Structure 1
């Protein structure tokens, strides 16, 4: 292997220690460096830079529910949720996140001291402003999927979303949950929060802004592959620039699970 290839991979991997070798190779190629996947793997393994991964389980009923709401383009289905972020000396704060399901574009990751209806409504307004900044006025109300958390069933929030969204509430941690943001929150923790020691809420908020930019514009997403194949693209490529993508893996997975569920129901009839 050429020494310059090793140096390029090392620089990219050390600048992005939360990514695996395939994503590092893609990012190198996006930066106009001819790096093969196996070269990135060899370099990162030799230098102890391969992150450990945990296996993920799939729930058939969750996939079946997802099938019912499958979006065919951006701004058809958004998901919104809240996760904890610890700030030393300031206890626990909350990151309110809104993501576009089709493109994986992170519309908002807003840090708040609570998850009251006022705070989550403000985060949703930020997501809406970002969507309209990028895409102009939305042609129709997006489906907005949340769980049944207290902030999402509060009268203030329900009234706020009534006219501009089709609000779909799904029970937290049930088999029918749409699990995108649960997985995204793991990414947020593994690629941002666990690498930081936030000095203050303002520092944490600035860091989340930087993470959102990195996630949307630099991080290739495995679900976003062009129809002709090749390397995956970033959420901004799909959401903003109109990059076509093949049937995402999660759509094929959901359809397969739906077919299996239908077969099980026929057998039980």
Structure 2
């Protein structure tokens, strides 16, 4: 047992992805993370998002007033409703307690997904999703002062679905939008 009080030894947190972000089709490698969004009335809100590394598309996202395992589990349930997973799917996250929870590990096991973890304090291991969060904050969040949770939720939803996935081109996918990249294999 380690000092954190759980039975999982730190050596179990393998970095399977190892900064290899290349894929040949959707649903081979997903990255997930949480970022903070501030509102005047409600304080901090938390955006949980999942990105498919093939297209850089944000395939699922949820905002909550609480940063919990339930938030990331519900985000993954949203992804499973619209995406077909394979036994080769790798999900990469940081070492946050939400991603190390028994409930989250259970949902990955149910879908036969391998879990890869960033090394502690190494944002480069999840740089694709970190880049999305930086773009979101620069292009949307820092341009506004959200009054409350509902306003933030609506604005973030619109940014992701109407701009980031649909209109924003990415040099890493040959200057296509995420939706255009996914249509190439549809």
TM range (shorter): 0.7 to 0.9
8 Å CA contact 2:32, 2:49 repeated in 1: yes
Matched, 1:219 2:171: no
8 Å CA contact 2:25, 2:185 repeated in 1: no
Q: Aligned match of 2:177 in 234, 241, 253?
A: 234
Question: CA deviation digits over 1:96-130, x for unaligned, max 9?
Answer: 01001111011123111112111110011112223
Matched, 1:65 2:18: yes
Structure (1/2) with the larger helix percentage: 1
The 1:176–1:95 alpha-carbon spacing in structure 2 relative to 1, beyond 3 Å, is closer
Match of 2:45, SS state, is strand
Distance of 1:216 and 1:78 partners within structure 2: 15
Distance of 2:80 and 2:30 partners within structure 1: 10
Q: Structure 1: 5+ residue runs without aligned partners?
A: 1-61, 132-136, 226-231, 245-269
**Pairwise mapping of residues 150-229 of structure 1 onto structure 2 (< 5 A)?**
150-164=97-111, 165-174=113-122, 177-213=125-161, 214-225=163-174
TM-score by length of 1: 0.58
Structure having the higher Rg:
1
Match of 2:173, SS state, is coil
TM-score by length of 2: 0.82
Matched, 1:80 2:32: yes
The 1:83–1:176 alpha-carbon spacing in structure 2 relative to 1, beyond 3 Å, is closer
Structure (1/2) with the larger strand percentage: 2
Distance of 1:238 and 1:175 partners within structure 2: 25
Q: Structure 2: 5+ residue runs without aligned partners?
A: 1-14
Distance of 1:206 and 1:121 partners within structure 2: 21
| Larger RCO: 1 or 2 (CA < 8 Å, sep 6+) | 2
The 1:103–1:167 alpha-carbon spacing in structure 2 relative to 1, beyond 3 Å, is same
Matched, 1:102 2:54: yes
Across the aligned residues of Structure 1 and Structure 2, the Cα RMSD in angstroms comes to 2.2
